[in-house]
Amino acid sequence: MIPLACLAGAVFGLVVYYLCFKFIPLSHPLATLMSTVGMLLLIDEIVVHATAGMPVNYPTLVRGMLRMGEFSLRADLIVCFLVAVAAMGALLYLLYRTRLGLATRAVSQQPVAAQLCGMSLGQVNAATFTITGALGGIAGALIGSAVGMLSPLIVAPLTVKGLIVTVIGGLGSIPGAIIAGLLVGAAENLFQFVRGVTERDIYVMLLLFVFLVFRPGGILGRDPAGT
């Protein structure tokens, strides 16, 4: 199931690259932003159209519980975690140990210089989008199995939380993201305990602002201005 999601995601990533980036000149960054928003609406609507707007049940990866004394863990969540860690490892290997990864980083830092060194911007970007799509596909399959159902509506709050964690942890820092993820998760449950579920997210957003004021680079980020 996961390899299939990965493949489908990769194909979609490539399609998105061709439809939203390929023909828009690099001098118009806002245009690519807008075209991807259009694509988001289109994909959402295709899903809604195909499922008649109803959430679809999603099979779990594995059944069963893992017991450790007083604590019990859902086995499927552990599988999700392990698959996610494996995907992250694969991404790090790809970025830092392969020629493609070197080219990707070169293109993101100095597109003109990379092109002068003989890299094809188009090919590297297409490959990057394929990888992004594949990772997104894996993430989607994992989220679907963790939540137990699929609907285009489930992703928006998760995306917002994920982005907040990325910023608090420091953009581009993987240990930072892990620490921030644990921190935000703990803070969320604490606020929920103290102030109730409806006010919980306000305080998480305020936490983000506290970080923006005092540590704009995030917990472990090195670049205080962001990118």
Partner 1 sequence: MDFYLGLLQIIGVHTLLGLSAYVVLLTGQVTLAQAGFMAIGAYVAAMLTVLAKWALVPALLAGGSAAAAVACLVGFPALRVRGLMLVVATLAFGEAVRLFFFNFDYQIAMGDLKVGPLGGEGFRQIRYFPENGWTTFQVMVFIWLIVGTVMAAIWWMDRSRAGAVLRAVGEDEVAAQSSGINLTAVKVLAMTAGGFIAGLAGGIYAHYTTHIEQGNFNIMVATFAIAYPILGGLSSVFGTLAAVVFIQGFLVEGLRFLGDWRNLLFGALIVLAMNLRPGGLLDARTTAALRQLRALARDPKARRRLLDQVASGAALSGAQAAVRRRIERWRGAFGA
Binding site for partner 1 (CB under 8 A): 19-20, 22-25, 28, 30-35, 37-46, 48-49, 122, 156, 160, 163-164, 166-167, 171, 198-199, 201-202, 205-206, 208-209, 212-213, 216, 224-227
Q: DSSP characters for 202-222?
A: HHHHHHHHHHHHH-TT-SS-S
Task: Give min distance, CB of 72 to partner 1, in A.
Answer: 32
What is the smallest separation between the CB atom of 156 and partner 1, expressed in angstroms? 6
Instruction: Give the span between the Cα atoms of 122 and 29, in whole angstroms.
Output: 16
- Provide, rounded to whole angstroms, the least separation between the CB of residue 24 and partner 1: 5
Q: Which is nearer to partner 1, 22 or 222 (CB)?
A: 22
- Least separation in angstroms between residue 171's CB and partner 1 is 6
Q: In angstroms, how far is the first alpha carbon of the chain from the final one?
A: 36
CA dihedral 21, 173, 156, 56 (to 10 degrees): 90
Residue 57: strand pairing partners: 149
Taking the least distance from each CB to partner 1, the nearer of 19 and 77 is 19
Q: Which of 181, 227, 155, 185 is nearest to 88 (CA)?
A: 181
For residues 4 and 33, which CB has a smaller minimum distance to partner 1 in the complex? 33
CB of 48 or CB of 77, closer to partner 1: 48
Q: How far apart, in whole angstroms, are the C-alpha atoms of residue 158 and residue 188?
A: 13
Minimum CB separation from partner 1 for residue 200, in Å? 9
CB nearer to partner 1: pick between 145 and 176: 176
**Least gap, CB of 224 to partner 1 (angstroms):** 8
> Given the complex with partner 1, which of 111 and 216 has the nearer CB atom?
216
Rounded to the nearest whole angstrom, what is the least distance from the CB of residue 60 to partner 1 in the complex?
29
Q: What angle do CA 15, 150, 142 make, to 5 degrees?
A: 75
77 vs 172 by CB, closer to partner 1: 172
